[in-house]
Structure 1
Amino acid sequence: MQTVHTIAELRAQLIGARREGRKIAFVPTMGNLHCGHMSLVEEAGKRGDLVVSSIFVNPLQFGANEDLDSYPRTLAEDQQKLEAYGCHLLFAPSVHEIYPRGTEIQTVVEVRSLSDMHCGMSRPTHFRGVATIVAKLFGIVQPDIAVFGKKDYQQLAVIRQMTEDLSLPVEVVGVDTARESSGLAMSSRNGYLSEEQLKVAPTLNQVLQDLVSSLKQGNRSFYTLEEQANQRLEAAGFQRDYVHICNRQTLQPATSGCRELVILAAAQLGPARLIDNCEVFLDDHE
């Protein structure tokens, strides 16, 4: 695996692959990689001939008082993992390389409406930062395929909408959430949790699984179910952000006639903001 740090170097490396007609599969990350990221790299290897990954801690998607400065930078370890899982080329640019004029006057991409709900309510600039960096990376790498995890379900929806709206020639692929044996969704921010908090953290997924069971049993009192879930999380030691039962396609609040749902949740546990989701497919008789 080769690591490059500039756009010019990256493009020079990809010229030959394009001439040969090789399919480029791209996995953008912020580093501090875990097994969930590796599952994305493996999927990229199945779908493309050349696997490109990026590591860039994007300042535009961090809000005030968030963990931009403390977010773990583990490039050497990440390089070893990527190479072991079949990545061919790593793009690890500096902030100046990506935003040479600074972030204050950087052109931004905003996916309206979809970015304003759920996580967007408590992190109002987050998805603008996500859409901007992904659009920029798509322009730099020009991949045929880009692979993302479903753990960041709203993020994936924002990226898909942006790609469609801007007519970008990239196939966006979502991969199921990688989990610990406890059910906890793998996340780089899990490293912020203490040993005791790691014992509590799987409660988030347990609460969502119980919501799935209630929905499959025919309970359509969505607001009541959401409130009960938040109360369970608070009783376990979480600080509530939201639990929302949504239409899977639009991420708007679910209605009683919806057959394809997704439960989206976010909650603070100590220093870590944890997110998770569960897709729910109801039979006509449920």
Structure 2
Amino acid sequence: MQVFREKEEVKKAIQKAKSEGRSIGLVPTMGALHEGHLSLVENAIKETDQVIVSIFVNPTQFDNPEDLEKYPRTPDQDLQLLADRFSNIWVFFPEAQELYGNEILSENFDFDGLETVMEGKYRSGHFDGVGTVVKHLFETITPHKAFFGEKDFQQLQIIRKLTHKTGLPVEIVGCPILREDSGLARSSRNERLSSQNREKAAFIYETLKEVQGLFGTESAEYIEKWVKERFEDHPYLKLEYFEIADAQTLKKINRKQSGNQYRAFIAAYAGDIRLIDNIALDN
């Protein structure tokens, strides 16, 4: 495993790999790696010749400075985890100034409304920050394919829109959500949960599974009301939002239409830890 900390260094290595006919796969992460991240790496290894994992806690996508400060950082553990599991991958581990230059600022993007709903509604400037860092990474790494988890499904659709609008020649590959035994979606934030809250947070996925069953017979309006009532009665979890939306446009559903794909999205707090999840709905 090879670790790069400078852009020029990794660019040279990539240029050489491409000259040898190797395809490049990128797995962008913010560190605090877990099995969900490792599953993305495994998918990338199957589909590309040289996999690069980036580890970078991106400051521009946090609207809450306290959340940025508390975000788990385990660099030594991350590198060891990758080295133990994968022998031939590369890791890009830059400092903020190395990636951004002297001004660590977000660009402003228009994602055709994908950025104004759900996470965008509750996290001001978040997707400008995501778009900025992903654009920097794509321009530095120039991957053929980039791999993202479907847990952040809104982010996945926004990155697809980013490549379309910027013309960056990267194929975006969405990978299934990896879950703990309880059903809780794997996330670096889970490590900050108390043991009690971690156990109780499985209720989020339980609710989504029930929504999946209800979607065949009940209206979106009924299901939304039902979910809100379930969370009102829960002593450990506080619902921030629940929405059923078109999987492509992320627009909130008014009426189900045959042939369209829909997903249910949820954000909830367990104590002061914010958790998100989603699930595909059969139509």
What is the TM-score when the length of structure 1 is the normalising length?
0.94
Conservation of the 8 A alpha-carbon contact between 1:264 and 1:277:
yes
Who is 1:228 aligned against? 226
In structure 1, C-alpha distance between the alignment counterparts of 2:229 and 2:94, rounded to whole Å = 43
In structure 2, C-alpha distance between the alignment counterparts of 1:59 and 1:110, rounded to whole Å = 20
Which deviates the most, 79-88 or 175-184?
79-88
1:130 aligns with 2:130: yes
Post-superposition offset of 1:253: 1.4
Q: State the Cα deviation string for residues 253-272 of structure 1 (Å, max 9, x = none).
A: 12222542100111111121
* Aligned partner letter, 2:281: V
Q: State the Cα deviation string for residues 169-218 of structure 1 (Å, max 9, x = none).
A: 111000000001110000000111101101110000101111111112x1
Q: State the Cα deviation string for residues 140-190 of structure 1 (Å, max 9, x = none).
A: 000000000000010001001111111111110000000011100000001
* Aligned partner letter, 1:98: L
In structure 2, C-alpha distance between the alignment counterparts of 1:262 and 1:52, rounded to whole Å = 30
In structure 2, C-alpha distance between the alignment counterparts of 1:134 and 1:108, rounded to whole Å = 13
1:6 aligns with 2:22: no
In structure 1, C-alpha distance between the alignment counterparts of 2:164 and 2:178, rounded to whole Å = 26
Who is 2:239 aligned against? 240
1:203 aligns with 2:203: yes
Post-superposition offset of 1:65: 4.2
In structure 2, C-alpha distance between the alignment counterparts of 1:22 and 1:257, rounded to whole Å = 43
Unaligned runs of 5+ in 1: none
Q: State the Cα deviation string for residues 65-100 of structure 1 (Å, max 9, x = none).
A: 441112111111111222233351100000111222
In structure 2, C-alpha distance between the alignment counterparts of 1:168 and 1:103, rounded to whole Å = 22
Conservation of the 8 A alpha-carbon contact between 1:110 and 1:131:
no
In structure 1, C-alpha distance between the alignment counterparts of 2:107 and 2:243, rounded to whole Å = 32
Number of aligned residues = 279
Say which SS state the counterpart of residue 63 (structure 1) adopts.
Answer: coil
Who is 1:101 aligned against? 102
Moved over 4 A (4+): none
Q: State the Cα deviation string for residues 27-51 of structure 1 (Å, max 9, x = none).
A: 0000000000000000000000000
In structure 1, C-alpha distance between the alignment counterparts of 2:70 and 2:40, rounded to whole Å = 25
Which deviates the most, 233-242 or 26-35?
233-242
* Aligned partner letter, 2:223: L
Conservation of the 8 A alpha-carbon contact between 2:107 and 2:129:
no
In structure 1, C-alpha distance between the alignment counterparts of 2:193 and 2:146, rounded to whole Å = 30
Say which SS state the counterpart of residue 152 (structure 1) adopts.
Answer: helix
* Aligned partner letter, 1:47: E
Say which SS state the counterpart of residue 77 (structure 1) adopts.
Answer: helix
Conservation of the 8 A alpha-carbon contact between 2:107 and 2:128:
no
Post-superposition offset of 1:108: 4.3
Who is 1:17 aligned against? 17
* Aligned partner letter, 1:4: F
Post-superposition offset of 1:102: 2.1
* Aligned partner letter, 2:250: L
Who is 2:68 aligned against? 68
Say which SS state the counterpart of residue 138 (structure 2) adopts.
Answer: helix
Say which SS state the counterpart of residue 268 (structure 2) adopts.
Answer: strand
Q: How does 1:269-284 map to 2 (within 5 A)?
A: 269-282=270-283
Which deviates the most, 1-10 or 249-258?
249-258
* Aligned partner letter, 2:241: Y
In structure 1, C-alpha distance between the alignment counterparts of 2:223 and 2:146, rounded to whole Å = 35
* Aligned partner letter, 1:265: I
Say which SS state the counterpart of residue 80 (structure 2) adopts.
Answer: helix
Who is 1:180 aligned against? 180
In structure 2, C-alpha distance between the alignment counterparts of 1:147 and 1:10, rounded to whole Å = 19
Unaligned runs of 5+ in 2: none
Say which SS state the counterpart of residue 151 (structure 2) adopts.
Answer: coil
Relative to structure 1, is the Cα distance of residues 110 and 129 closer, same or farther in structure 2, using a 3 angstrom cutoff? farther
In structure 1, C-alpha distance between the alignment counterparts of 2:251 and 2:189, rounded to whole Å = 27
Q: State the Cα deviation string for residues 198-245 of structure 1 (Å, max 9, x = none).
A: 1110000101111111112x112x123112212212322222211101
In structure 2, C-alpha distance between the alignment counterparts of 1:207 and 1:145, rounded to whole Å = 33
Q: How does 1:204-219 map to 2 (within 5 A)?
A: 204-216=204-216, 218-219=217-218
Who is 1:78 aligned against? 78
Conservation of the 8 A alpha-carbon contact between 1:148 and 1:175:
yes
Post-superposition offset of 1:133: 0.5
Who is 1:169 aligned against? 169
In structure 2, C-alpha distance between the alignment counterparts of 1:82 and 1:29, rounded to whole Å = 12
